C-alpha cells in the first residue's frame, strides 16, 4: 500500500534517567499508512522511545512532530500553557496502547470506548457510539458492548482497548508489547486484529518481541540497541538478511531455540530465519 505524508517525525531524541543515558539520539519518521515495528533486547530503550513520542516521558533533548504539531524537549520543565496544550494536541493524535489494557473496570465496553471521544474531544454521544460500535465490530466484539471488562478474557480486553483507541481516530496508534501480558493462546487474536489494521492502512508504531508478526505485518522494522537505531528497513532485510552484525547477533540469540540458519551458510554469514508458519525457510532461501 502506498505510503502518504510524514505523520510522525522525531528528531535527535535523547533521554537521561539520572546518569543513565537511555536514548542517545534517535531519529524516527513514520508515514501515513506505515506500520513500523520496534525491536531490540530488553533495556535497549524501545518503551522509552515510544513514551517520548507522546510525552509520557519527557525527552531530554530533541523534538517530536505529530501531524503538524511540534514540541521541543523541555528538560527544565519550564513549560508554558501553550506547550502543555501542544502536548495535549500530540496525545490526541497519537493513541497509545499498553500491555495491561488500562480499561476502566466500572464501565461497560461501550462506555469505555466513548468516554474519551465525548469528554476529551467533545464528540456528540450518538456519533461516539456509532464510531465505537463500528470499531468494536472490527475487532470482533460488538456483542460484548454491554459487558464489563472483568468478564472478558485478556485477549478480548486488549481488543476492546484497540477499539477504544480507534474511536479517538488518532493519526497514529502506538503499541507497547500489546500481547506480552496475555496467555499464549490469546496472543493470536490480538495480533490478527493488528495485522488487519496494518494491512488496511492504519499508521502504527509497535514495540514487539513477536518476530513472525513483525515479519508479516511491518512495512519497516527498526532495530534498537543501546539507545540508538542500529538498523532499519523492510522486514525481509532486518529480520532475514540484516546488514549489521549487532542485528544478526540479536536475532540469533532471540530466535536461538526456535530458529535455524540458512543451510549451507558459513558460521559467519549464516542468517537467522523465522520459523513462521511455513514462510521462514522459503523467505530466507
> By the criterion CB under 6 A, which residues form the site for ligand ATP?
17, 20, 22, 40, 42-48
Q: Which is nearer to ligand ATP, 129 or 251 (CB)?
A: 251
CA distance 103 to 112: 7
Closest separation in Å from C-beta 55 to Mg ion = 17
Query: What is the distance, to the nearest Å, from the Cα of residue 200 to the centroid of all Cα atoms in its chain?
Result: 16
Burial classification of residue 135, based on how many CB atoms lie within 10 Å of its CB (0-12 exposed, 13-18 middle, 19 or more buried): buried
Q: Which is nearer to ligand ATP, 17 or 104 (CB)?
A: 17
Please give the grid coordinates belonging to residue 276: 513462521
Closest separation in Å from C-beta 110 to Mg ion = 31
Given ligand ATP, Mg ion, none, residue 42, with its beta carbon under 5 to 8 Å by kind, binds ligand ATP
Given Mg ion, ligand ATP, none, residue 117, with its beta carbon under 5 to 8 Å by kind, binds none
DSSP symbol at 149: G
Instruction: Give the 3-state secondary structure of residue 130.
Output: helix
Nearest CA to 182 out of 284, 100, 70, 268 is that of 100
CA angle, 228 then 192 then 150, to 5°: 95
Given ligand ATP, Mg ion, none, residue 265, with its beta carbon under 5 to 8 Å by kind, binds none
Q: How many CB atoms lie within 10 A of CB 100?
A: 11
Q: Find the binder of Mg ion among 35, 44, 47, 247 (CB under 5 A).
A: 47
Q: Which is nearer to Mg ion, 15 or 145 (CB)?
A: 15
Burial classification of residue 195, based on how many CB atoms lie within 10 Å of its CB (0-12 exposed, 13-18 middle, 19 or more buried): middle
Closest separation in Å from C-beta 88 to ligand ATP = 22
Closest separation in Å from C-beta 269 to Mg ion = 31
Given Mg ion, ligand ATP, none, residue 44, with its beta carbon under 5 to 8 Å by kind, binds ligand ATP
**Positions in the binding site for Mg ion (CB under 5 A):** 47
Amino acid at each position: 500500500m502506498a505510503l502518504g505524508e510524514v505523520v510522525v517525525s522525531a528528531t535527535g531524541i535523547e533521554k537521561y534517567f539520572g546518569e543513565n543515558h537511555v536514548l542517545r539520539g534517535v531519529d524516527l519518521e513514520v508515514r501515513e499508512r506505515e506500520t513500523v515495528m520496534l525491536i531490540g533486547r530488553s533495556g535497549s530503550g524501545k518503551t522509552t522511545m515510544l513514551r517520548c513520542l507522546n510525552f509520557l516521558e519527557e525527552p531530554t533533548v530533541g523534538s517530536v512532530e505529530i501531524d503538524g504539531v511540534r514540541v521541543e524537549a523541555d528538560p527544565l520543565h519550564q513549560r508554558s500553557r501553550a506547550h502543555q496544550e501542544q502536548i495535549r494536541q500530540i496525545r490526541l493524535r497519537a493513541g497509545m496502547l499498553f500491555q495491561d489494557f488500562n480499561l476502566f473496570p466500572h464501565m461497560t465496553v461501550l462506555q469505555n470506548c466513548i468516554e474519551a471521544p465525548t469528554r476529551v474531544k467533545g464528540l456528540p454521544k450518538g456519533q461516539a457510539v456509532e464510531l465505537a460500535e463500528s470499531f468494536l465490530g472490527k475487532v470482533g466484539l460488538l456483542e460484548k458492548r454491554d459487558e464489563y471488562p472483568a468478564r472478558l478474557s485478556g485477549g478480548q480486553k486488549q481488543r476492546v482497548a484497540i477499539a477504544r483507541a480507534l474511536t479517538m481516530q488518532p493519526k497514529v496508534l502506538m503499541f507497547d508489547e500489546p500481547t506480552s501480558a496475555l496467555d499464549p493462546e490469546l496472543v493470536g487474536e490480538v495480533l490478527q486484529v493488528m495485522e488487519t489494521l496494518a494491512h488496511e492502512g492504519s499508521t502504527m508504531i509497535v514495540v514487539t518481541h513477536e518476530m513472525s508478526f513483525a515479519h508479516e505485518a511491518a512495512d519497516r522494522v527498526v532495530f534498537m540497541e543501546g539507545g540508538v537505531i542500529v538498523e532499519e528497513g523492510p522486514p525481509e532485510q532486518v529480520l532475514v538478511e540484516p546488514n549489521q552484525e549487532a542485528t544478526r547477533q540479536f536475532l540469533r540469540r532471540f530466535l536461538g531455540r526456535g530458529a535455524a540458519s540458512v543451510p549451507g551458510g558459513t558460521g559467519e554469514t549464516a542468517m537467522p530465519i523465522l520459523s513462521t508458519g511455513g514462510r521462514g525457510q522459503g523467505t530466507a532461501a
